Amino acid sequence: MATVSPTTAPPLSVTVARAREKGTSLTRDALRRLRRNRLAMAGLVVIIFLALVAIFADVLAPYSYTKTNFSRLNEPPSREHPLGTDQIGRDLLSRMIYGARVSMLVGLGAQLIVVSIGVPVGALSGFIGGRTDLLLTRFIDVMYAFPRLLFVILVMSMLGAGLMNIFIAIGLTGWVGIARQTRAQVLSIKEKEFVDGARALGSGFTRLLLRHVLPNALTPIVVAVTFGIPEAIFTEAALSFIGVGINPPTPSWGQMVGEGQQYLRSYWHLCVFPSIAIAGTMLSFTFFGDGVRDALDPKQN
C-alpha cells in the first residue's frame, strides 16, 4: 500500500513555500479536505455528541446508574424509562449515558499512554540505529507475534478489572504498532537532505530529533492515533463483555451487551441499545479516521 505521506516528498520546502505564498499551509489544506468529506464530518458530529454526553453525564442522566428498583425489573422502554430497565431494575438510559463516559475515557486515555510509550521508543530506535535499534526491533517483533487481544485479556485477568488496569493493559500492548510506524518514518526522514543540513548547521541530537525529524514524521502517527481510539474503545467493550474490563457497578456498553445477551429472547432491549451505541461509536470513529487519513494523504485516492 502506498501510504507515502506528503512530507516524504522531496521538494517539501518548495511546496511549503508555494503554499505560504498562496496563504494556505499544509495543515489548513488538509483541514479543508477533511471538512469537505461528508462521512467524516458526520462521524465527527457523533463523536462530539458522545463527548458532550460523557462530560455532562451527571446532568443528563435521569437516574443514578446504581439505583435499583426491584419492583420494575427488565421493563421494556416506557415513558419513565425511555430505554427500559435492566435485570435489577436500574434505568438503562442512565447507564448508557455513563457508559459513554467510560468509552470516551478509555479511547483517549489509552491512546495517550500508547503514544507516550510508542513514539519515543520508535523514534529513538530509528534515530540512534545500530545495536539499540536491533534490540528494540527484536523486542517489538516478539510483542507483535502475540495476538493483541489475547495479550490484553491475559494482562487484565491477572491485574483484575478496573479502569486504571484497562489503561495499563492497552498501553502495555498497544505501543508496539505506533513504535513500528514511528521507527519506519524516522528511518526514512533522517536520511533526507534537510536533516543533513540542520546537522551541518550545528543542531545537536535532541534538537535534530525534536525539531527536524519528529515533526515531519507526524502524519502517520496522527492517522494511527485516530484509528487507535476506536480500537481502544473496542478493546474495553470486548474486555467488559467477557467480564474482565470495567468493575461493576460502573456501567460499560460492552458489559451491558455481555450481560443482556443471555436474555436476548425475552428482554431484547437490554442488549440492543448498548449494541447500537457501540456500533455507532465505532462507525463514527472509522469514518472520521478514514477522513483524516485521506485529508493528510491526498496522493492516496
Partner 1 sequence: MFHYAIRRLLWLVPTILAMALVTFTIMHATPGSPLDPIAEGANPLSPEAQKNLAVLYGLDKPLYHQFGIFLWKAVRGDFGNSFVYKTRAVRDIIVTTFPISLFLGSMAFSLAVVGGLTLGILAATHQNKGWDYLSVSLATVGVAIPNFVLAVFLIILFSFVIPLFPTGGWNDWRNWVLPTVTLAAGPMGIVARFTRASMLEVIRADYTRTARAKGLGERPIIFRHALKNAFIPIVTLLGPMFAAVGTGSFFVEAIFRVPGMGKFFVESMTGRDYPMIMAVVLTYGVFLSLMNLVVDLAYGLLDPRIRY
Q: Does 258 bind partner 1 (CB under 8 A)?
A: yes
Nearer to partner 1, 127 or 251 (CB): 251
Cβ proximity to partner 1: between 122 and 245 the closer is 245
Nearer to partner 1, 216 or 259 (CB): 259
Minimum CB distance to partner 1, residue 206 (Å) = 32
Q: Does 168 bind partner 1 (CB under 8 A)?
A: no
What is the smallest separation between the CB atom of 192 and partner 1, expressed in angstroms? Answer: 26
**Residue 178: left (phi > 0), alpha (psi -120 to 50), or beta?**
alpha
Q: Which is nearer to partner 1, 154 or 208 (CB)?
A: 154
Q: How far is the CB of 301 from partner 1 (least distance, A)?
A: 8
Q: Does 148 bind partner 1 (CB under 8 A)?
A: yes
Segment near partner 1 (CB under 8 A); pick from 26-34, 110-118, 120-128, 255-263:
255-263
- Find the binder of partner 1 among 55, 158, 164, 222 (CB under 8 A): 158
184 sits near partner 1 (criterion: CB under 8 A) = no
The answer to the question of residue 230 lying near partner 1 (CB under 8 A) is: yes
Binding-site ranges for partner 1 (CB under 8 A): 1, 141-142, 145-150, 153-155, 157-160, 230, 234, 237-238, 241-244, 254, 257-258, 261, 264-265, 268, 271-272, 275, 278-279, 282-283, 285-287, 290
